Amino acid sequence: MTNQISAAPSKSITSHIHTKPHFITVSKLITIPALPRTSPKINSYTMIDFGVIGTSTISHNFAAHAHASGQWNLRAVYSRSKVTAQAFASKHGQGQSPKIYTTIEGLAGDESIQAVYIASPNSLHYSHAKTCLEGGKHVILEKPSTSTSAELATLFAAAHSHGVLLLEAHRHLQEANFKALRSGLPLLGAIYGASLTYASYSSRYDAVLAGAEPNIFSLEFSGGSLVDIGVYGVAAAIALFGPPKSATYDPVIVATGVDGGGPVVLRYEGFAVTVLQSKCYTSTAPSEVYGEKGTLRVNGVTDIDSVEFVDAKTKAVTKLGGEKCKYNLMEECVEFARIINSRDHEEAAKLETLSKEVLKVTEKLRKDNGIIFAVER
């Protein structure tokens, strides 16, 4: 008998990525839908006119991938420096001369934009997002959302009262291959644990070793490995298994006072998830979810290009995912445009809950270890 397990991608996945899911046979007993390959399907929604805050690499990537998605139009750029904003605008403006702002209030008051992408240092997310939400703009807010849960609650309240959406840019959760991993969970039977790894030596750690304090390694700017890089594994665990019953963290503290990385253990009913994360070393280990019937293996918790099911008894390997998207911010650009354009409040509410749960965990883990941000003193 062939069992068809209910591992179909959710409506929000199929509606924008793949209209006709293929089916692949994992074993003689189980058939699951194969998940999306290559680029997400683009819907013909209204283009969203948007502005950016922050002009570093991630903002350049977002502007480029947003443009490639065909859903977003860059119309405004904020920078502390007019010259920097102009350079960014001419690179990504597609000949449309985006407006230049050197105040957040100016950008937030621009009637010609509906949304703002925010990639400023972590500690500034709150004030930047609040000003934009109060200006009636949808906000795509880079991870980690805010320094504290209280700040995040205030932002979501502002979004609700102004009738706009606040979406945290957990880009990895929008990857088709992450969704393939999630859809494969029923293959495992009883789940016995997971190991989610993201550790990458940061070029900015060189500066810390040389005695400097770059933003991402600064308590003043709400930095540290857990909120910067560990958050990928914590968010993935919560997206896969829900909020943990309890959590612990054993960080290495670097010279600037923030955590440089370390193991996080998230405990669930009957199993635990280990999140190995660091900005002080590089790991090449894959990430895995373990079950009675087999193991789901991915090359990492983000930029996933390989999703495999390994049968527990036969060790046979079956490929589940597809090719990864060419642009690693494109899937979130497409999904967030769909949520905004279709006013998908149900999906937005799920993402709001996820953002709050992730922050609740990282905030507790920091405080347990005496890692106190400047805004909390």
Residue 120 in contact with ligand NAP, rule: CB under 6 A: yes
Cα–Cα distance, 319 to 313 (Å, whole number) = 17
Other C-beta atoms lying within 10 Å of the C-beta of residue 11: 11
Q: What is the DSSP string of 109-141?
A: T-TT-SEEEE-S-GGGHHHHHHHHHHTT-EEEE
Residue 306 in contact with ligand NAP, rule: CB under 6 A: no
Asked if 3 and 287 touch (Cβ cutoff 8 Å), the reply is: no
Query: Could you tell me the smallest distance in angstroms from the CB atom of residue 335 to ligand NAP?
Result: 14
3-state SS class at 105: helix
Q: How big is the site for ligand NAP, counted in residues (CB under 6 A)?
A: 20
Query: Could you tell me the smallest distance in angstroms from the CB atom of residue 57 to ligand NAP?
Result: 6
**Closest to 114 measured CA to CA, from 51, 67, 46:** 51
Residue 143 in contact with ligand NAP, rule: CB under 6 A: yes
Residue 280 in contact with ligand NAP, rule: CB under 6 A: no
Minimum CB distance to ligand NAP smaller for 121 or for 184: 121
Query: Could you tell me the smallest distance in angstroms from the CB atom of residue 55 to ligand NAP?
Result: 4
Minimum CB distance to ligand NAP smaller for 30 or for 152: 152
DSSP state of 156: H
Cα–Cα distance, 200 to 187 (Å, whole number) = 30
Residue 363 in contact with ligand NAP, rule: CB under 6 A: no
Residue 58 in contact with ligand NAP, rule: CB under 6 A: yes
Query: Could you tell me the smallest distance in angstroms from the CB atom of residue 123 to ligand NAP?
Result: 9
Query: Could you tell me the smallest distance in angstroms from the CB atom of residue 326 to ligand NAP?
Result: 15
Residue 253 burial class via C-beta count within 10 angstroms: exposed 0-12, middle 13-18, buried 19 and up: middle
Strand partners, 139: 116, 166
> Between the CA of residue 313 and those of 5, 183, 344, what are the distances in Å?
20, 21, 43
Contacts of 81 (CB under 8 A, 6+ apart): 102
Q: Which stretch binds ligand NAP (CB under 6 A): 31-39, 73-81, 236-244, 348-356?
A: 73-81
Contacts of 110 (CB under 8 A, 6+ apart): 51, 75, 76, 99, 101
Asked if 328 and 171 touch (Cβ cutoff 8 Å), the reply is: yes
Minimum CB distance to ligand NAP smaller for 171 or for 182: 171
Minimum CB distance to ligand NAP smaller for 18 or for 65: 65
Query: Could you tell me the smallest distance in angstroms from the CB atom of residue 203 to ligand NAP?
Result: 10
Residue choice 169, 208, 273, 275 for contact with ligand NAP (CB under 6 A): 169
Residue 195 in contact with ligand NAP, rule: CB under 6 A: no
Other C-beta atoms lying within 10 Å of the C-beta of residue 215: 16
Query: Could you tell me the smallest distance in angstroms from the CB atom of residue 11 to ligand NAP?
Result: 25
Residue 67 in contact with ligand NAP, rule: CB under 6 A: no
Residue 56 in contact with ligand NAP, rule: CB under 6 A: yes
Residue choice 34, 119, 176, 264 for contact with ligand NAP (CB under 6 A): 119
Residue choice 66, 191, 216, 247 for contact with ligand NAP (CB under 6 A): 216
Sites of contact with ligand NAP (CB under 6 A): 54-56, 58, 79-81, 84, 119-122, 124, 142-143, 169, 171, 215-216, 228
